[in-house]
Amino acid sequence: MRIEAITLREIRMPLVHFFETSFGRTTERRILLVTAHCEGVDGWGECTAGEHPFYNEESTETAWYVLREYLAPALAGRDLESGREAAFRMPAVRGHRMAKAALENAVWDAEAQALGIPLWKLLGGTRKELAAGVSIGIQDSHEQLLEKIAVEVAAGYQRIKVKVKPGWDVEVLAKIRAQFPAILLSCDANSAYTLDQVAHLKEFDQFRLLMIEQPLWSDEIYLHALLQRELATNLCLDESILHARDALAAIELKACRILNIKLGRVGGFTEAIRVHDVALAAEVPVWCGGMLESGIGRAHNLALSTLIGFSLPGDVSASARYWKEDIIEPGVTVSGEGTIAVSGAVGRGYAVREELIERFTVRKETIRAK
């Protein structure tokens, strides 16, 4: 499968509702899309880097630079067997995994189309119905948060995750539990705490949370192990897990009992499957994290979530929660039981709305073989 050319584009999409974490508020996404033009099929990938280097070191701008200067020129014109080979052929750029994932995943999408099979089958997935959860950001008031939770619970979502930070945590969780005693509830701190706050974090135990996601430093595994020893609640690592070796270290050190797998954070499908396999062998449950993706990244998250180890509801929710108009057709929808039916269509399983993408595009560049 020859990669004849690679198109990079940046699109802008306003969120239906702002999304706030411990590191800031997002109102409009700047999303970088990659198209791998391969002998009659176009594979699409989405870069999950944020607008600013707050979640990790990458941003839309750094991903554009790395893809344009290094990654796309290295793969344009090459004959590749597979998405897996694309991962193997990436140039020796350190880090920048979200940029790499966008390109690698586009090749996986093209490969599935060339084979005429759904991407999830190519990945080795078996699940046909996925459990959907939601991630709800920090709001302007407790009342606003409780209202949002009520809407999502009524819609059928199987797990509610709320963002926490010092000053928006114990009181908020207490109110949620008082109003929703039985829901599956998690919280995500995006590294907002330090180990000297262990007494405060112990207070979270009373809320019977499914997990606390990434309470401590984004680049730290060992100190999470010290914290996990002190808490009854399961820890889950997000930011700290960049590859399967991190997953192995975290599991062996007992730094967490659950793993969040994000395609961009680990650098693409090839490494995401490796992380999944490490967790599965250790019987550590995993779930698929979200990064406020457009439909393309969302479709890829769904494909990944069909792997058997994804036994917990993911941050995989309906397109309409994020976008007035999503760039895929149909948009992702969720049943009243909080499930998403896996598409049987080839490739990513959702058609790309190219005219709409064109309308959202603010810059575009095609890289061809030298």
- Nearest approach in angstroms of CB 259 to Mg ion is 11
For residue 109, give Cα distances in angstroms to 14, 39, 264, 269.
Answer: 26, 13, 15, 10
Is 128 labeled as catalytic in the residue annotation?
A: no
Is 163 labeled as catalytic in the residue annotation?
A: yes
- Cβ proximity to ligand OSB: between 40 and 166 the closer is 166
Active-site residue (options: 163, 254, 324, 364): 163
Active-site residue (options: 121, 262, 364, 370): 262
Residue nearest ligand OSB (C-beta atom): 290
Binding segment toward Mg ion, per CB under 5 A, in 75-83, 121-129, 180-188, 324-332:
180-188
- Cβ proximity to ligand OSB: between 291 and 352 the closer is 291
In this structure, are residues 307 and 122 in contact, taking their beta carbons and an 8 Å threshold? no
Binding site for ligand OSB (CB under 6 A): 21, 55, 135, 188, 190, 238, 289-292, 315
- Cβ proximity to ligand OSB: between 290 and 295 the closer is 290
Residue 305 contact among ligand OSB, Mg ion, none, beta carbon within 5 to 8 Å by kind: none
- Nearest approach in angstroms of CB 296 to Mg ion is 20
Residue 315 contact among Mg ion, ligand OSB, none, beta carbon within 5 to 8 Å by kind: ligand OSB
- Cβ proximity to ligand OSB: between 80 and 272 the closer is 272
- Nearest approach in angstroms of CB 55 to ligand OSB is 4
Q: Residues 229-268: x/- map of binding to Mg ion (CB under 5 A)? A: ---------x------------------------------
- Cβ proximity to ligand OSB: between 112 and 297 the closer is 297
Secondary structure (H, E, C), the chain = CECCEEEEEEEEEEEEEEEEECCEEEEEEEEEEEEEEECCEEEEEEECCCCCCCCCCCCHHHHHHHHHHHHHHHHCCCECCCHHHHHHCCCCCCCCHHHHHHHHHHHHHHHHHHHCCEHHHHHCCCCCEEEEEEEECCCCCHHHHHHHHHHHHHHCCCEEEEECECCECHHHHHHHHHHCCCCCEEEECCCCCCHHHHHHHHHHHHHCCCEEECCCCCCCCHHHHHHHHHCCCCEEECCCCCCHHHHHHHHHCCCCCEEEECHHHHCCHHHHHHHHHHHHHCCCCEEECCCCCCHHHHHHHHHHCCCCCCCCCECCCCHHHCCCCCCEECCCCCCCCCEEECCCCCECCCEECHHHHHHHEEEEEEEECC
- Cβ proximity to ligand OSB: between 49 and 107 the closer is 49
* Stretch 4-43 residues interacting with Mg ion (CB under 5 A): none
- Nearest approach in angstroms of CB 163 to ligand OSB is 7
* Stretch 195-224 residues interacting with Mg ion (CB under 5 A): 213
Of the candidate residues 10, 152, 169, 188, the single one contacting Mg ion (CB under 5 A): 188
In the sheet that holds 185-188, the strands lie side by side as 133-136, 159-163, 185-188, 211-213, 235-237, 258-261, 286-288
Residue 352 contact among Mg ion, ligand OSB, none, beta carbon within 5 to 8 Å by kind: none
- Does position 315 interact with Mg ion (CB under 5 A)? The reply is no
Active site residues: 163, 262
Binding site for Mg ion (CB under 5 A): 188, 213, 238
